[in-house]
Amino acid sequence: MEDSDRADPSASTDPSPRLLRESGDGGRVQARLEGDWTLLALRERVEALRHELAAMPKSGVSWDLSAISRLDPTGALLLWQAWGRRQPDDLRWPPAPLAPMFQALFARLSGKQGKPAKPPRVESARRLGQGLLNLVDHLLSATTLLGQVVRDLATLARQPSLIAWRDISAHIYRSGAQALGITALVGVLVGITLSYLTAKQLQNFGADIYVINILGISVWRELGPLLAAILVAGRSGSAMTAQLGVMRVTQELDALSVMGISHTIRLVLPKMVALALSLPLVMVWTSSMILLGGMIAARATLGLDYVQFLQGLPAAVPVGNLWLGLAKSTVFGLLIAFVACHFGLRIKPNSESLAAGTTDSVVSAITVVIIVDAIFAVMFSDVGLKA
């Protein structure tokens, strides 16, 4: 806090802050401030003074600060707010050396509060440009990481002993086996909802039996792989990013670099391989749970027997849909792990960057999965569908 010495030895020895209001010539109001306007002096009178200052007219007031003996940022802020965050036209400063100190306090407040706002168009253009620069930066960084992955794959082909089998096994367990519970719960609930809504519509046309075709093709071809990928991206992808981020914060990544151990061989590739292997299995499990929920709902709404549902499913769904779903899940697994590692390696050694990087990782992974799924839908629109 800034504090100034007393200006006038003859001034009143009472340090309590006071606001004296007098009527001047021509109906002009004169406001004279006395005492110490500091945090210590204001602690008991701040509310009363705030009300007195608020009762002053907004214009036509002469402010006299010459009798203030001390002023700190707290008192200056109280006056600045009463003035409407601008310096009044009629203002009398105290004699030197207090005047420069007081002026510096209000100038600092003016610098914080009085910056002119940028025009909306300029601000929008700035944000758009910054967003494009960030996108280009991410693309360049991802391309660099992809090149390093391809390069290290060649290294592993020459030296298979460098493959981290234990890490791959551990990641398969974490991203696969430990995800079965949540994927089963979500799958059954989604299957019940989808089957219930579909059955209600088919009943209007007397086509109840076609609920098997709609559920089977949509689940094995689109819904199962997409739902499994989104759940794994939110669960396992975020964990991978957080793990790399914590290693950055604790300087473990720097230690690996000092020891000459490649980040991609030791950290990135095991995650990508594990997720490419585990996600297709999770997809099969999730799709089965969706069909189980759909079968239960079909029995409740349409009276469709379980045996009839299971027997009609292979005939209604060509096997090409299953292979397409498995292929999509493998690609989704590689992309989710790659995006998670990309954001994890970019995290800076602070908690704020760790939180932001984990959030961006999940959002980006889900977005990439949806984009790639749309590409698959267009490219393989004729695969697994009967004419």
Per-residue pLDDT tens digits for 313-343: 888 888 888 999 999 999 999 999 999 999 9
pLDDT of residue 112: 53
278, 348: one domain: yes
Residue 123 has pLDDT above 80, yes or no: no
pLDDT of residue 358: 92
pLDDT in tens, 338-378: 999 999 999 988 888 888 999 999 999 999 999 999 999 88
Residue 301 lies in a domain: yes
* Element of type H or E holding 249: helix 238-249
In this structure, are 326 and 357 located in the same domain?
yes
Question: In this model, does residue 281 exceed pLDDT 90?
Answer: yes
> Are 186 and 319 in a shared domain?
yes
CA atoms within 13 A on the CB side of 355: 3
Q: What's the mean pLDDT in 132-154?
A: 91
| pLDDT, greater one: 334 or 79 | 334
Query: What's the pTM value of the predicted model, to 2 decimals?
Result: 0.67
Min mean pLDDT across 81-85, 115-119, 183-187, 213-217 is at 115-119
In the block, tokens 């095991």 appear at: 270
Could you tell me if residue 1 is inside a domain? no
155 and 233 co-located in one domain: no
**Can you give the chain as a three-state secondary structure string?**
CCCCCCCCCCCCCCCCCEEEEEECHHHCEEEEEEEEECHHHHCCCHHHHHHHHHCCCCCCEEEEEEEEEEECHHHHHHHHHHCCCCCCCCEECCCCCHHHHHHHHHHHHHHHHCCCCCCHHHHHHHHHHHHHHHHHHHHHHHHHHHHHHHHHHHHHHHCHHHCCHHHHHHHHHHHCHHHHHHHHHHHHHHHHHHHHHHHHHHHCCCCHHHHHHHHHHHHHHHHHHHHHHHHHHHHHHHHHHHHHHHHHHCCHHHHHHHCCCCHHHHHHHHHHHHHHHHHHHHHHHHHHHHHHHHHHHHHHHHCCCHHHHHHHHHHHCCHHHHHHHHHHHHHHHHHHHHHHHHHHHHCCCCHHHHHHHHHHHHHHHHHHHHHHHHHHHHHCCCCCCCC
Of 51-55, 153-157, 276-280, least confident by mean pLDDT is 51-55
Do the domain assignments include residue 8?
Answer: no
CA distance 113 to 295: 64
Read off the amino acid at residue 88: P
Q: Are residues 301 and 218 in the same domain?
A: yes
Residue 261 lies in a domain: yes
pLDDT at 62: 85
Q: Is position 91 within any domain?
A: yes
State the residue range of the domain holding 310. Answer: 163-379
For residues 24 and 132, state if they share a domain: no
State pLDDT tens for residues 225-240: 999 999 999 999 999 9
Count structural domains, the chain: 3
Residues 320 and 222 in one domain: yes
In a domain, 212, yes or no: yes
Q: What is the rounded distance in angstroms from the CA atom of residue 135 to the CA atom of residue 146?
A: 16
Residues 99 and 196 in one domain: no
Q: Do 54 and 140 share a domain, yes or no?
A: no
pLDDT band at 144 (very low <50, low <70, confident <90, very high): very high
What does the pLDDT look like over 24-49, one tens digit per residue?
666 678 888 888 888 888 888 888 88
Q: Give the residue, 14 or 286, on which the prediction is more confident.
A: 286
Task: Provide the pLDDT confidence category of residue 93 given band limits of 50, 70 and 90.
Answer: confident
- Position 198 scores a pLDDT of 87
**What is the reported pLDDT for 189?**
94
pLDDT value at 261 more than 90: no
Is 4 part of a structural domain of the chain? Answer: no
Most confident of 152-161, 208-217, 279-288, 318-327: 279-288
Element (H, E) at 293: helix 269-302
- Within this chain, do residues 363 and 290 fall inside the same structural domain, yes or no? yes
| Final residue of a structural domain among 46, 81, 113 | 113
Q: What integer best gives the mean pLDDT of the chain?
A: 85
Same domain, 296 and 178: yes
Residues of the chain with pLDDT > 70, as a percent, come to 92
Q: What is the pLDDT of residue 330?
A: 95
Residue 98 has pLDDT above 90, yes or no: no
Total residues belonging to the chain: 387
93 with 69, same domain: the answer is yes
Residue 9: inside a domain, yes or no? no
Higher-confidence residue of 2 and 376: namely: 376
Which CATH number does the domain housing residue 107 bear? 3.30.750.24
Judged against a pLDDT cut of 50, whether residue 380 lies above it is answered with yes
Amino acid at 354: L
> Strand 61-71's sheet: what is its strand order?
18-23, 29-37, 61-71, 91-92
Contact 229, 369 (CB under 8 A): yes
Identify the residue with better confidence: 80 or 189. 189
47, 80, 113 — which closes off a domain?
113
Bridge partners, 92 (sequence order): 64
